[in-house]
Amino acid sequence: MSTSQSSESLENLWDEKHAATLDEPGRLLYRSNLLGSDKRITNFGGGNTSAKVLALDPLTGEETQVLWVKGSGGDVGTMKLDGFATLYMDKLNTLPALYRGDQFEDEMVGYLPHCTYNLNPRASSIDTPLHAYVPHRHVDHMHPDAIIAIAAAADGQALTQEIFGEDIGWLPWRRPGYELGLWLAAFCKENPKARGVILGSHGLFTWADTAEQCYAITLEIINQASAWLNKKTKGHNAFGGGKHPALSTEQRQRVAEQLLPEIRGLISQEQHKVGHFDDSEAVLEFVCSEQMPSLAELGTSCPDHFLRTKIWPVIVEYNPSEDNLEQTVASLPALLEGYREKYAQYYERCKHADSPAMRDPNAVVYLVPGVGMFTFAKDKTTARVSAEFYTNAINVMRESSAVSTYCGLPEQEAFDIEYWLLEEAKLQRMPKAKSLAGRVALVTGGAGGIGSATASRLLSEGACVVLADIDEALLQKTHKRLTESHGSDVVRQVVMDVTDEAQVIAALATTAREFGGVDILISNAGIASSAPVEDTTLELWNKNMDILSTGYFLVSRETFKVLRRQAVGGAIVFIASKNALAASPGASAYCTAKAAEVHLARCLALEGASGGIRVNVVNPDAVLEGSKIWSGDWLQERADAYGKDAKELQAHYLERSLLKRAVLPEDIAEATYFLVCDASAKSTGNIINVDAGNVQSFTR
Ligand SMILES: NC(=O)c1ccc[n+]([C@@H]2O[C@H](COP(=O)([O-])OP(=O)(O)OC[C@H]3O[C@@H](n4cnc5c(N)ncnc54)[C@H](O)[C@@H]3O)[C@@H](O)[C@H]2O)c1
Ligand SMILES: [Zn+2]
């Protein structure tokens, strides 16, 4: 059976009452957001919409026609009005006279800013001419899987004719740009009755006189294509049927946790990459199928798809029936090197005299029979979106190969898009990567005061963070807060007791599964206890030792294992304490366990150095704000120890410090960030005291 993503037809969600309250640009935005909110209509960031609207010219005060068209960047589903570029139609209509032919179409992009209406700073996209010259007021350009399945079929033109008759026309593949805009204009002139056109290997154009009609036609055409495909593929064995069994969820996760860090290490030599694991139904069906290897080799079709997923995926040599994991791991270095060589050959074969230099030759997509798909990119969102795009490509290949012969885009065309000078210019305009982009951090005690402040600091520098804590309720609260401030792609939570070996191992496995591996460990989970030695029970002593020394050992050991497998270095920071260096009255268990942490850090610094694994210590003191420790008995006990009132304690600590300043969680986070980022690349085995100055803890 073909498992089409959803055979239900698209529902018309247009609310005329709401639409009536909007002006013309507002209705365009409304339509765009409706269209983009359903991934069956268009992929993330793909497609664009436009309306030709009458507006007043700010110079002459006269009415003039303005093209509102989705600008460069963003996504139609979530865009706002500022995502549209606005251009004078009368100026756009002067451009054909300047056009020197398709060899020179890229130079037309330079004229678009001259056509800007009302000083709108939004840059025009490359698709602007595709909308400008269609002689209809409203135009939608979408990338629906169901349409691309037809657009990527060997006999796509005949299928289009069969499904849509005169209603929808066909234009062969042509890279988006000025020439294609003129083709569309000519098509409309020659086919005045057509309501749209399918672009070979690309997507759909539809048009109408009102926003509502345009929206309705787009849905209708996609529904028509889906219904036709469903009918044709009913009872059909997708991808030639299954070849491998799909493993159980637990088994798939186990394999993913093992393979992800191995692959990540092999492709992160130049730049750290974040991984994403997808074992959804559509992906599993594909990776387990008979035809997967041959279809994957053909490459993707829609330009959006391969810009995000590279021309081909890697097929990992794993056999789920034999579970040959060790052999698979051993095969990876040669497999990935082979891909890089193949990619370099493709670059050499296709490059032009003025092509930009070859970009990262590593694959983005890794298909694992029986298990699923891994994607890797410079950040988590890009990795996740790449998986979404390859899933679009899978949907296209399934339907297309069921009704015809699926065709990828010809190699040279793919290259010309990938290394298009305009695409390169777009990449050059991207903001510089943040200092921890591509890095993955595990923060123990991540729900608490110092842990969450540190997590937030690392997130703001582009890292992905897994918060691990024993306190489930607080963990959820912190996770929610950090998700709200940094986005749901980059934060995960795992309930974990640092003294429980199995839970620590599981937390590292989760980190690998969620982000592909680990680079940074902030070992911070802790407690504080206070008692004169004669009242220190063995239980209290052991508790301190268990959480502070043994816990730090366990998370470090498991992190070391992953870091060694990746072999691209790493950074560990122990949040110890002033008390690790300075004896304190009535807290021998805590002080001794903290001292053990410092020495453990030094031992690990020694062992890790050859692998580029740095281990350093931050010693806080008296960080009362946000700390759970300071909201428990410890506060009263410390006050008693110094003969102070609990309320006076903060003032006491401040007075005691050399700098006479309060120490905040953010201060600890800052020192910790320094020790994990590349600015401290040459420091290991070090201690930074963040205690507002205390002569007792001066290191020597
Ligand atoms: N706040 C200070 O003044 C101060 C001073 C010196 C050292 N420190 C150290 O800083 C670290 C963080 O302390 P904080 O002030 O943020 O306190 P906090 O209590 O706010 O955070 C500590 C977190 O560790 C978690 N935790 C406790 N036991 C755990 C276990 N077995 N497994 C997993 N998680 C566990 C707690 O649930 C809590 O969320 C601790 O190691 C502490 O000893 C703090
Ligand atoms: Zn397109």
Q: What is the 3-state secondary structure of 90-129? A: HHHCCHHHHCCCHHHHHHHHHHHHHHECCCCCCCCCCCHH
Q: Is 45 left (phi over 0), alpha (psi -120 to 50) or beta?
A: left
Rounded distance, CA 597 to CA 527, Å? 13
Residue numbers annotated as active site: 590
pLDDT at 7: 59
Spacing, Cα 526 to ligand 1 middle (Å) = 4
CB atoms near residue 380 (< 10 Å): 25
CA 48 – ligand 2 centroid, Å? 7
Q: Are 649 and 638 in contact (CB under 8 A)?
A: yes
Contacts of 455 (CB under 8 A, 6+ apart): 441, 443, 446, 465, 467, 478, 482, 491, 522
**Domain span at 54:** 16-233
Tokens, residue 87: 């251009």
Cβ pair 316, 335 in contact under 8 A: yes
Residues 417 and 494 in one domain: no
Which residues is 367 bridged to in the sheet? 315, 373
Cα 237 to ligand 2 centroid, rounded to whole Å? 30
CB-ligand 1 contact for 524 (6 Å cutoff): yes
Q: Which of 372, 404, 429 is the endpoint of a domain?
A: 429
Residues near 452 by Cβ (< 8 Å), separated by ≥ 6?
A: 446, 467, 478, 481, 482, 626, 665
Same domain, 285 and 310: yes
Answer yes or no: are the C-beta atoms of 570 and 518 closer than 8 Å: yes
Which residues neighbour 95 within 8 Å (Cβ) at sequence distance 6 or greater?
108, 111, 115, 129, 178
Locate tokens 């009302």: which residue?
A: 118
Successive 10-residue mean pLDDT values, the chain, 700 residues: 57 96 97 95 92 96 97 93 97 97 93 96 94 97 95 96 96 95 97 96 96 97 96 87 95 98 96 97 96 91 83 96 97 98 97 94 97 97 95 94 91 90 79 95 98 98 98 98 98 98 98 98 95 96 98 98 98 97 93 98 98 98 87 82 82 91 96 98 98 92
Which domain-ending residue is among 208, 233, 258? 233
- Residue 583 CB partners (closer than 8 Å, separation 6+): 591, 696
231: helix, coil or strand? helix
Ligand 1: residue of 456, 624, 627, 654 to mutate (most ligand atoms within 8 A of CB) is 627
* Cβ of 361 less than 6 Å from ligand 1: no
Distance CA 43, CA 302 (A): 11
* DSSP code string of 368-433: ETTTEEEEEESSHHHHHHHHHHHHHHHHHHHHHHHHS-B-PPPHHHHHHHHT-HHHHHHHHHSPPP
Cα-to-centroid distance, 46 and ligand 2 (Å): 6
Rg (CA), the chain: 30
Report the separation in Å between the CA atom of 624 and the middle of ligand 1, taken as the mean of its atom positions. Answer: 11
Which is the closest atom of ligand 1 to the Cα of 632? Answer: 19
Residue 206 belongs to domain with CATH number = 3.40.225.10
Our answer on whether the CB atom of 498 is closer than 6 Å to any ligand 1 atom is yes
Q: Is 529 in the pocket of ligand 1 (CB under 6 A)?
A: no
In this structure, which ligand is nearest to the CA of 48?
2
- Alpha carbon nearest to ligand 1 atom 37, residue: 471
Q: Which atom of ligand 1 is nearest to the CA of 447?
A: 39
Give Cα 477 distance to the centre of its chain.
23
Pocket test for ligand 1, best of 442, 443, 450 (most atoms within 8 A of CB): 450
In this structure, the number of other CB atoms found within 10 A of the CB of residue 608 comes to 23
Based on the domain organization, do 484 and 364 belong to the same domain?
A: no
User: Does 494 lie in the same domain as 384?
Assistant: no
621 touches 697 (CB < 8 A): yes
**Is residue 6, in this structure, part of any structural domain at all?**
no
Cα(659) to centroid(ligand 1), Å: 24
CATH value at residue 457: 3.40.50.720
**Same domain, residue pair 226 and 258:** no
Amino acid at 20: A
Could you give the strand order of the β-sheet that contains 365-368, starting from the edge strand earlier in sequence? 274-278, 372-377, 365-368, 314-315
Asked whether residue 7 is domain-assigned, the answer is: no
Q: Which residue bears the tokens 């000519």?
A: 186
Same domain membership, residue 323 and residue 267: yes
Domain final residue, candidates 233, 264, 285: 233
Q: Is residue 642 part of a domain?
A: no
Residue 163 sits in the same domain as residue 207: yes
The pLDDT of residue 90: 96
* Cβ-contact 107, 86 below 8 angstroms: no
State phi, psi for 298 to the nearest 5 degrees.
-75, -15
Q: Indicate whether residue 494 lines ligand 1 (CB < 6 A).
A: no
Output the CA 466–ligand 2 centroid distance in Å: 36
State whether the beta carbon of 400 lies less than 6 angstroms from ligand 1. Answer: no
Nearest ligand 1 atom to the CA of 474 is: 39
Strand order in the sheet with 84-88: 84-88, 63-70, 48-56, 138-142, 203-208, 196-199, 168-171
Would 9 be classed as within a structural domain? no
Which amino acid residue places its CA nearest to atom 31 of ligand 1?
497
649 in any annotated domain = no
273/220 same-domain check: no
The reply to whether ligand 1 has any atom less than 6 angstroms from the CB of 499 is yes
What number does the ligand 1 atom closest to the CA of 594 have?
43
From the CA of 76, the nearest ligand is 2
The closest residue, in CA terms, to atom 32 on ligand 1 is 497
Give the CA diameter of the chain.
98
Say yes or no: CB of residue 448 within 6 Å of ligand 1: yes
Q: Does 629 map to a domain?
A: no
Q: Which residues contact 233 (CB under 8 A, 6 or more apart)?
A: 2, 4, 399, 402, 403
Quick check: CB of 588 below 6 Å from ligand 1? no
Specify if 137 maps to a domain.
yes
Strand, coil or helix: 613: strand
Query: Hey, whose CA ends up nearest to atom 7 of ligand 1?
Result: 577
Sheet arrangement for strand 520-523: 491-495, 464-469, 440-444, 520-523, 570-575, 613-620, 687-690
DSSP-derived 3-state class of residue 274: strand
Q: What domain count does the chain have?
A: 3
- Specify the residue for token string 């497999």: 335
Quote the pLDDT of residue 6: 52
Distance 457 CA to ligand 1 centre (A): 17
CA 298–ligand 2 middle distance (angstroms): 20
pLDDT value for 626: 84
691 ligand 1 Cβ < 6 A: no
Shared-domain flag, residues 422 and 289: yes
Which residue has its alpha carbon closest to ligand 1 atom 41?
A: 526
Question: Is residue 453 in contact with ligand 1, taking CB distance under 6 Å?
Answer: no
* Residue 166: other Cβ atoms inside 10 A: 10
DSSP-based three-state secondary structure for 260: helix
* Cα(76)–Cα(34) distance, integer angstroms: 8
- For residue 692, the CA-to-ligand 1 centroid distance in Å is 19
Q: Is the CB of 470 under 6 A from ligand 1?
A: yes
Q: Quote the pTM value.
A: 0.93
DSSP code, position 175: -
Distance of CA 534 to the CA centre of its chain: 55
Q: Which of 572, 636, 643 is nearest to 602 (CA)?
A: 572
557 Cβ contact partners less than 8 Å away, ≥ 6 residues apart: none
Question: d(Cα 86, Cα 28) in Å, to the nearest integer?
Answer: 13
Q: Does the beta carbon of 582 sit less than 6 angstroms from any atom of ligand 1?
A: no
Query: Among the atoms of ligand 1, which is closest to the Cα of residue 578?
Result: 6
Distance of CA 455 from the midpoint of ligand 2 (Å) = 39
Mutate to test the pocket of ligand 1, among 584, 628, 672 (most ligand atoms within 8 A of CB): 628
Would residue 581 count as lying in a domain? yes
Same domain? 380 vs 261: yes
DSSP state of 550: I
| Best probe residue, ligand 1, of 527, 544, 664 (max atoms within 8 Å of C-beta) | 527
Q: Are residues 262 and 295 in the same domain?
A: yes
Pocket test for ligand 1, best of 454, 469, 574, 661 (most atoms within 8 A of CB): 469
pLDDT in tens, 57-116: 999 999 999 999 999 888 999 999 999 999 999 999 999 999 999 999 999 999 999 999
Tokens in use for 585?
Answer: 């009255």
- Say how far apart CA 605 and CA 602 lie, in whole Å: 5
Copy the structure tokens of residue 620: 């806080």
**Same domain? 195 vs 253:** no
Q: What atom in ligand 1 is closest to the CA of residue 579?
A: 6
